[in-house]
Structure formats: C-alpha cells, structure tokens
Amino acid sequence: MRKNLLSKPKVKIRLPGGETVVRVVKKKPGKAYCGICGRELHGVNYAGKTKSQRSVERLHGGSICARCLKRLLVREVLSRFG
C-alpha cells in the first residue's frame, strides 16, 4: 500500500469469492467554524450540489459567523462616521 493511503480511512470488504480486501474510503469533510470566534457555522454544507447549498450568501458567508460580521461592520461604520 502506498504511503499516502496509510492515513486515509479504510473499510474491509468481503468479495463474493470469499476474499477480504481493504478499500480506501473518502474522508467526510469536517464542520465549518467561524474564523474569529471559533463557533460552528450554520448553513454550511460542503457536500451541497449548488453554491447556495454549500455556503451562506452573505458577506464573508461560510468563513465568519453573522454575529462577528455584524460586530465588524458596526465597528467600521462607527470608526468612519461616528
């Protein structure tokens, strides 16, 4: 077995002839977390078919949570106009 396959998840499959082989299965993608506070992001599904299913259609959607984005925007507005 090649070296880069050692860390990948494997399953044992029994073939019709009685032989057992090891197959490498794809890793499931992990959960998405906010880049600032580290909270888990909702509405982000890496396995979604369309882009709107995979992420949130907001500024920095899919990388920063709504609460952190709101805080950043308020801080930016206040620093310019406040």
Footprint of Zn ion on this chain (CB under 5 A)?
34, 36-37, 65, 68
Nearest distance from C-beta of residue 66 to Zn ion, angstroms:
8
Smallest gap from Cβ 67 to Zn ion, in A, equals 6
For 62, the token pair is 């899919």
Rg (CA), the chain: 21
CB of 56 to Zn ion, least distance (A): 12
Which of 76, 78, 70, 74 lies closest to 34, judged by CA?
Answer: 70
Q: In this complex, which beta carbon is closest to Zn ion, that of residue 18 or of residue 38? A: 38
